[in-house]
Chains A and B, each alone.
Chain A
């Protein structure tokens, strides 16, 4: 049974259907990527999985449970956590407060589990530990992205949704972020990733879906798609 199963999902903004009849599955432990151009429906798909965009058709099943109509904040309790597009750092909160926000919906078994989770985040992102009292709004883009991922980890997610983590970052930082995403996945967290930076994303994914104008046009193994000439042409900028 897949961890996440989206079946025939349509999401509309008014009369415009941003996503049409999309079906996507993510198995437990996988790193799955959605690639596609701007406006292909990637972010809309993520929003629908998190519950902040309603579906006009289709259904979403998480871990065997139909969550199609579940309230977004309850999905966090189920284990679906998103680091949103644009990172969504709370600008007036410190780094530590931002991290604590990740754990907001969660009641930890005890303080030890909380501390252990925080320690794990600091292990992945040592720079955050140095800056616990810095205000989120004053950090660089790369630091904010690290904070956004660290914050999502604070919820101890079963499925982490990452929407364009490389957006607006320098190539060095992008490398670093992708390495950490791979590591998080290797440690057992299932990841659904949305990326424009297709080469990096595909080379690190188990599987990938290609979205075009709201529909899935291709899917397959990450490296398989990376080697595909038509994908190369359309998304990797090589003829």
Chain B
């Protein structure tokens, strides 16, 4: 057959379903670790979209700042990049991981709130049209990237930032803990998936069960009436950016465990677009949709890269997005934070 012949002769794209079959569980487990990171970052896109109808394109840079935040925290704790992994026992490892995660959360959460204050709030006060917000978001994204690229090294005496990726600090060395259907499950995988699960559950509880969570949903569903109920829209907006930033900061630490070489000024870009795609895939404005979309995207692109070849990984992610949107334009779960689906 002609099509088959072309595919076989052309080394650009492969088609190897057998490889997927052989490595199915390994790919699923590894895909879930990526998916967990996408999911946490996607929450930031989806919540901000819910309350402001704004795609905060600078969120990918908030994630990137989170990576630097946890890295700087580890440096401050006395860690340094070296060939040797940390081996002072599991308790201390977990403790330092926790502190580094908090460092990432503080930096990313603070940056997200700062971004809102500096870039978006003045526009809201002047009643700017939504296109202006979008352009501002893209602009802010560049500003933050170039800040890390050029300014941060000057501020830290070359310790942080600049044109090259940071040397990884090897806090956790991947070790196989057990096998699941023949797939190796490492300690890194377990840390990522469990941390993400806890954070996702906590966020879901916060949004659906607490007073402030209700406030966020109220502003998303009907901002004017929310104000009439005594909700301060400005405060809710700030809270929303904070939650998104904090989760991106946590995700940043988890991501660097899996991809230690990713701490670079441009390191948020592709991941941010994927997380945004995950949010759209699940139904933007929908918290659970973002979580589901993230996991799905992580797993599917991992399958795709084995079937079609590693360099097709990103393509698979975006083709999946396009295909799903063709059949369900509101995403898999639709928009529930904003509107009821009666």
Please give the residue numbers on chain A whose beta carbons come within 8 Å of chain B beta carbons, in ascending order: 50-52, 71-73, 76-77, 81-82, 84, 88, 90-93, 97, 100-102, 104-106, 135-138, 151, 155
Contacts and interface: CB of A to CB of B under 8 A. Distances in A.
Interface of B: 211, 214-215, 217-218, 221-222, 224-233, 336-340, 342
A201 B138 CA distance: 53
Given A93-B221, A101-B218, A137 B340 contact: yes
A51 B218 CA distance: 18
Contact of A88 (B217, B225, B337): B225
Given A72-B227, A73-B231, A155-B230, A104 B218 contact: yes
A201 B133 CA distance: 45
A50 B226 CA distance: 12
A84 B228 contact: yes
30 contacts: A50-B228, A76-B230, A81-B229, A81-B230, A84-B228, A88-B222, A88-B224, A88-B228, A90-B218, A90-B226, A91-B339, A92-B336, A92-B339, A93-B217, A93-B221, A97-B214, A100-B211, A100-B214, A101-B214, A101-B226, A104-B211, A104-B214, A104-B215, A104-B230, A105-B229, A105-B231, A135-B340, A137-B340, A138-B342, A151-B229
Given A90-B222, A92-B217, A93-B217, A105 B230 contact: yes
Nearest to A77: B230
Given A52-B224, A93-B217, A101 B229 contact: yes
Contacts of A104: 211, 214-215, 218, 229-231
Q: Which has the most chain B C-beta neighbours within 10 Å: A71, A100, A105, A138?
A: A105
Contact of B221 (A90, A100, A155): A90
Contacts of B222: 88, 90-91
Secondary structure type dominating chain A contacts: mixed
A73 B230 contact: yes
Contacts of B224: 52, 84, 88
Nearest to A151: B229
8 tightest CB-CB pairs across the interface, nearest first?
A: A105-B230, A76-B230, A88-B225, A137-B340, A91-B340, A92-B340, A90-B221, A73-B232
Contact of B340 (A100, A105, A136): A136
Nearest to B225: A88
A138 B340 contact: yes
A84 B227 CA distance: 11
Q: Which has the most chain A C-beta neighbours within 10 Å: B214, B224, B229?
A: B229
Nearest to B227: A72
Given A90-B218, A91-B340, A82 B228 contact: yes
Contacts of B225: 84, 88, 90
Contact of B337 (A50, A92, A100, A106): A92
Contact of A106 (B221, B230, B232): B230
A52 B211 CA distance: 23
B264 to A, nearest CB: 40
Contacts of B215: 104
B268 to A, nearest CB: 31
Nearest to A50: B228
Contacts of B218: 90, 93, 101, 104
Q: Which has the most chain B C-beta neighbours within 10 Å: A51, A84, A90?
A: A90
B177 to A, nearest CB: 41
A72 B232 CA distance: 8
Contacts of B340: 91-92, 135-138
Contacts of B342: 91, 135, 137-138
A185 B211 CA distance: 29
A93 B217 CA distance: 8
B227 A73 contact: yes
A108 to B, nearest CB: 12
Contacts of A93: 214, 217-218, 221
